[in-house]
Structure 1
Amino acid sequence: MPPQKRLITPFSLPIYAFGLAIALGALALSHPACLNGESIRPIDALFTSTSAVCVTGLIVVDTGQFFSPLGQTVILLLIQLGGLGIMTYTSLALILLRRRISLTDRLAVGQSLLHDPAFDLGRFLFRVVTGALVLEALGCLALWLLEPEGFPLFSAAFHSISAFCNAGFSLYPDSLMGYDTNIGVNVVIMVLITIGGLGFTVVNELMHKGVHRARGHKVARLSFHTRTVLSTSAVLVVVGTGTIFLGELFGPAETHIPLWNRILHALFQSVTCRTAGFNTLDIGAMSNIALVFMMMLMYVGGSPGSTAGGIKTTTARAVVGFVVSQIKGRSQTVVGSRALDRETMNKAITLTIMASLTVAFATLVLSITEAHLGAEGLHRGSFLELLFEVVSAFGTVGLSTGITAKLSDTGRAIIIMLMFVGRLGPILFLTALQEWQTKPRYSWPEEGLMIG
C-alpha cells in the first residue's frame, strides 16, 4: 500500500502561510477605516495585499492618497511579514513563548532562509529579526535626518522598511523621482536594498567575521556561497549601471542632465532592479535598450534566503558556469575554484527553464487579455510594456512602465498569481508537487539523441 500523502509538508507550509496572510491583508484593506473615504474593489484589495506580502510594489491605486494612515500601516506590516517570511515570525514567536517547534516548522524555515534545514533555529531567527529591525531603524533615522520635511518619521520608517524588504512601495505617487538629485537619500535606499537582497546567511556571515576581525581574531576565508553571491551581485550592479547609462545617454529622459546625475540615475536603477521597485526616473520614458537590460536584472533578482525575488544570483551564476564549461569542453560546471554537484545544476537549470516558461506564457496570455492597451497609442505598442510588467511581477520587483492600473481584472489576476509564484519560487511549488507524486521503482533504457 503506498504511503499516505500529508496535506501539510515542510515545502507546502510556506505556500499556505503566505496565502493566508494575503487573504487576511485583503480583508483588512477593504475595511473603510483603511481607506480615505473611498471604496476599493475586491480584486484591487487582493492585488495590493499580494503585492505587499510578496514585497513586489506594483500598485493599482496610489498608496499615499487612496489609503488612510491605518491602511498604510497595514500595508507596512504586510511588507514586513512578507519580507522576512511568515514562517520566520511564527517560529520566533513560538520560541519566545518557549513552546516546542515542530520538525515541520523547523524544516520550512530552514528551506526559506537557508535552503538548508541543519541550523540552530532559535539563534538564527533571533539574529535575522533583530538584525533586520536594527537596519530598518538605522535607515529610518538616516532618511529622517537627511530630509525631515520630505521624510517625516512615519514616512521614513515606511520607506526604510520597504527598501530593506525590497518591496518598492512608496507614499509618493512618483516613487522617489523627487529625490533623484539627493545623493544622501539615494545612498541610504541603495544600501538598504543591497543588504536586504544579499540574503540573511551572507549578511550574518559578514557581520560575524567583521566582529571577530574588530576584536583582533584571525578570520577564515569567506564561504563559497558568500563569495559567489558578492561577486555576482557586484558584476550585475556594475554592468547594469554601465548599460543603463549608455542606453539612456541619448534618451529623452536624460536630456540636459549633468553627467554625475546621469551616473547616479543609472546606478540607482541598476540597484533597484534587484527586485526593489523604487525609481528615480520615469520608467515609461526610458529607452528600449535600458528597459531590456533592466528586465534581465529583474529576472535574476537577489540572492537565496533574501527578501528579493527572481531566479537568484547563484542560479544565474550556475547557468553561466554551465555554459562556459560546455564551451570549454569540461565535464564539470566550474564556478570560481569549485565544481558544482549534479543536484545543484539540476535545480538551477530546472528553475531557469520553469521561470522562462512562466514569463513567456504569462506574457502571451496578457497579450490576449490586454489587447485594448495597443489602441491607446503607446509609443512602443503594448508587447514590451506587458513583458516588462510580467518580469517585474515574477521577479517581485514592482517597476512598471505605467500600465498596471490599466490592466483588466483578468490581467490583474494573472499578475497576482505571478507575484505569488515569484515570491515563493517556482521550484518550491515543483517540490511541493513532487511530494504528492509516487516515484517509479523502475528506469527506462537510455539512448542518445542528436542535438542542434
Structure 2
Amino acid sequence: MLRKKTPTFLFPIAGFALTILAGTILLHQRFSLTGEPLGWVDALFTATSATCVTGLAVVDTGTAFSTAGQSVLLALIQLGGLGIMTYTSLIFYLWRNRISLTDREAVSQTLLHDPKFSLGHFLKHVVLGCLLIEAFGALALFLLDPQGFAPFSALFHAVSAFCNAGFALQSDSLMHWRGNIGVNAVFMGLIVLGGLGFVVLLELAEHATGKHIRAGGSSFQPVGRLSWHARVVLSMSVWLIIGGALAILVVEFLLHSGQYAPGEELLGSLFQSVTCRTAGFNTMDIGTLSNVSLLVMMFLMFVGGAPGSCAGGVKVTTLRAMTAFCVARLKGRHQAVVGNFALDESTMNGALTLMMLATGVIALATLILCVSETGAVPHAATRGQFLEILFEVVSAFGTVGLSTGITPELSTTGKLTLTALMFVGRLGPIVFLQVLQELYTQEKFRWAEKRLPIG
C-alpha cells in the first residue's frame, strides 16, 4: 500500500510553529527578562511577532528583555525573515551538496513561488547576500551614531530593518532620529531591500556585477534587461512609496500640522510610507496622526512588499494584477494586461482568491477584537476605538508592527487573535487554503452552468 505524500506546504507551517514554540519557552525564562515575569500569552505573542517579522509588542523590548532575551528575539527575526525552510535546506545542501525534491518544493512555496527554480547556488547567495547587507547596515548605523547605536544595538536594528520586523530597542521606536537624514536613509534602504524579494535582489546584483549569480556563474557575462517580474515589482514599489509619502505629507503636515520642521515633515512622510511596506518602525507618533493618514497607511500595510521577500501583505504583484483586471473590465477587454503580457487564468484566480481571503480574515479578526475589547459598550463610549482596532488588525495581518498604542492593553483573547493573524499573514492565506483543499477530494466532473443576474 502506497503512503500518501505529505504536502510540501505543511513543512513551512510546521517550521514556523516549532520556532515560535521554542521562542515562547526561551522568552518566558528568567534569563531573558530584566524584571517582571512575562506571562505565557505575552511570551507567545512576542515570539510570534518576532518570528513572523511583525514588530507588535506587548512590552517594551529595550527594557523588559535582557541582552539574552534580545538575542533570542534577534535570532527569531533572522530565522523568520528568510524563512525556516531556507536555512534548513541550506544546511542540508552544504552538508550533502544536494537538495531533495521535498526541500526544493518547500522553499519554493515560501520563498520563490516557483518549484522549478534551481536552489543550490541561489540559497548560498541569498543567505550570504542578506548577511552582508545586514552587516553593512549595522556598520553604517554605528558610524552615524556610535552612542545611539552601540554594536549590538546597530546589529539588532539592521537585522530588524532588513527583515522588515520593526522591533526597536527604544520605547519611541526611531522618533529620536526623525531629523537625521543618514540614519533615516540607512533604515529606508534596508527596509526597501528586504521588501523587494530575494529573486529581484539577486537579479539586481547580476546587473551590477555582470555575473549570472543564480546559475553559479563567476565570470563576466552580458546580462540582459531586468525580467518582467522585476520591473513590475520595482515600478509598483516606487509608485506606492512616492504616492504614500505625498498623501501623508499633504494630509498630515501641509493641512494642519506644524509641529515638525519642514525638513522633518518631508523626511517623516517618506519614512512612514517606506516603513508601511511591513517594517513597523516609526519616526512620528502614530497615535496622534489623522484618520486620513491612518487609512493611507492601512492601505500600504495591506499591500505590503514583493513575493518571496521578508515583507507581508497581499504583495505588490497582487495589487498590480487586480488593477490590470479592473482596467480590462472597464475597457471591455477580456485579458488583464501588465506591460507587454496578459496575465494567465491561474494568476488572476490566485490574485482574486488572495484578495477575498485577506479581506475576509481581516473582517473576522476585526469583529473578534470588537467583541473582546469593547463588548456591549455603546458606540458613543468607544468613539475612535474601531479605527484603532482595524489599524491593529491590518498591521498584524501585513506583519507590519505599527500601532496606535493599544497593543499592551489588549485582552488575552485580543492578543491570541492577533497572534494567529500574524502567523497567517506571514505564511499567507493561500497556504492555509491549500491545506483545506488537500482535505477534500478533487471532483472529477463539472456542474451544469447557469447565468445569475449580477449588479
TM-score where L is the length of structure 2:
0.95
* RMSD of Structure 2 on Structure 1 (CA): 2.0
Q: How far apart are the structure 2 equivalents of 1:181 and 1:376? A: 39
Matched, 1:399 2:397: no
Equivalent AA in structure 1 for residue 235 of structure 2: S
Q: How far apart are the structure 1 equivalents of 2:377 and 2:284? A: 23
- Pairing 1:39-438 to 2, within 5 Å after superposition: 39-98=37-96, 101-212=99-210, 218-249=222-253, 254-371=257-374, 380-438=383-441
Q: How many residue pairs get matched? A: 449
What secondary structure sits across from 1:141 in the alignment? helix
Equivalent AA in structure 1 for residue 60 of structure 2: D
Task: Specify the alignment match of 1:13 in structure 2.
Answer: 11
- Please tell me whether the aligned partners of residues 33 and 71 of structure 1 are also in contact (alpha carbons under 8 angstroms): yes
Q: How far apart are the structure 1 equivalents of 2:255 and 2:45? A: 33
- Please tell me whether the aligned partners of residues 374 and 381 of structure 1 are also in contact (alpha carbons under 8 angstroms): no
Between the aligned residues of both structures, percent identity stands at 56
Q: How far apart are the structure 1 equivalents of 2:372 and 2:52? A: 24
Equivalent AA in structure 2 for residue 411 of structure 1: G
Following TM superposition, by how much is the alpha carbon of 1:118 offset from its aligned partner in structure 2, in angstroms? Answer: 1.2
Q: How far apart are the structure 2 equivalents of 1:379 and 1:196? A: 38
Following TM superposition, by how much is the alpha carbon of 1:436 offset from its aligned partner in structure 2, in angstroms? Answer: 2.6
- Please tell me whether the aligned partners of residues 5 and 436 of structure 1 are also in contact (alpha carbons under 8 angstroms): no
Q: How far apart are the structure 1 equivalents of 2:262 and 2:382? A: 27
Deviating 4+ runs (over 6 angstroms): 213-216, 372-379
Q: How far apart are the structure 1 equivalents of 2:377 and 2:404? A: 14
Q: How far apart are the structure 1 equivalents of 2:49 and 2:291? A: 26
- Please tell me whether the aligned partners of residues 373 and 382 of structure 1 are also in contact (alpha carbons under 8 angstroms): no
Q: How far apart are the structure 1 equivalents of 2:173 and 2:382? A: 23
Q: Alpha-carbon deviations, 1:293-351, whole Å to 9, x = none?
A: 10000000000000000000000100010000000110001111110000000000000
Where in structure 1 are there 5+ consecutive unaligned residues?
none
- Residues 1:433 and 1:363: Cα distance change in structure 2 (over 3 Å): same
- Please tell me whether the aligned partners of residues 198 and 229 of structure 1 are also in contact (alpha carbons under 8 angstroms): yes
- Residues 1:372 and 1:150: Cα distance change in structure 2 (over 3 Å): farther
What secondary structure sits across from 2:342 in the alignment? strand
Following TM superposition, by how much is the alpha carbon of 1:241 offset from its aligned partner in structure 2, in angstroms? Answer: 0.4
Following TM superposition, by how much is the alpha carbon of 1:377 offset from its aligned partner in structure 2, in angstroms? Answer: 10
Following TM superposition, by how much is the alpha carbon of 1:292 offset from its aligned partner in structure 2, in angstroms? Answer: 0.2
- Please tell me whether the aligned partners of residues 177 and 279 of structure 1 are also in contact (alpha carbons under 8 angstroms): yes
Following TM superposition, by how much is the alpha carbon of 1:266 offset from its aligned partner in structure 2, in angstroms? Answer: 0.4
Q: How far apart are the structure 2 equivalents of 1:102 and 1:387? A: 42
Q: How far apart are the structure 1 equivalents of 2:49 and 2:261? A: 35
Following TM superposition, by how much is the alpha carbon of 1:449 offset from its aligned partner in structure 2, in angstroms? Answer: 1.4
Q: Alpha-carbon deviations, 1:203-255, whole Å to 9, x = none?
A: 00010111119998543121110010000010000100010111102566x42
Task: Specify the alignment match of 2:216 in structure 1.
Answer: none
Q: How far apart are the structure 2 equivalents of 1:334 and 1:362? A: 34
Matched, 1:448 2:446: no
Q: How far apart are the structure 1 equivalents of 2:20 and 2:378? A: 34
Q: How far apart are the structure 1 equivalents of 2:430 and 2:261? A: 44
- Residues 1:282 and 1:342: Cα distance change in structure 2 (over 3 Å): same
- Residues 1:62 and 1:375: Cα distance change in structure 2 (over 3 Å): farther
- Residues 1:378 and 1:28: Cα distance change in structure 2 (over 3 Å): farther
Where in structure 2 are there 5+ consecutive unaligned residues?
213-218
- Tell which deviates more after alignment, 381-390 or 436-445: 436-445
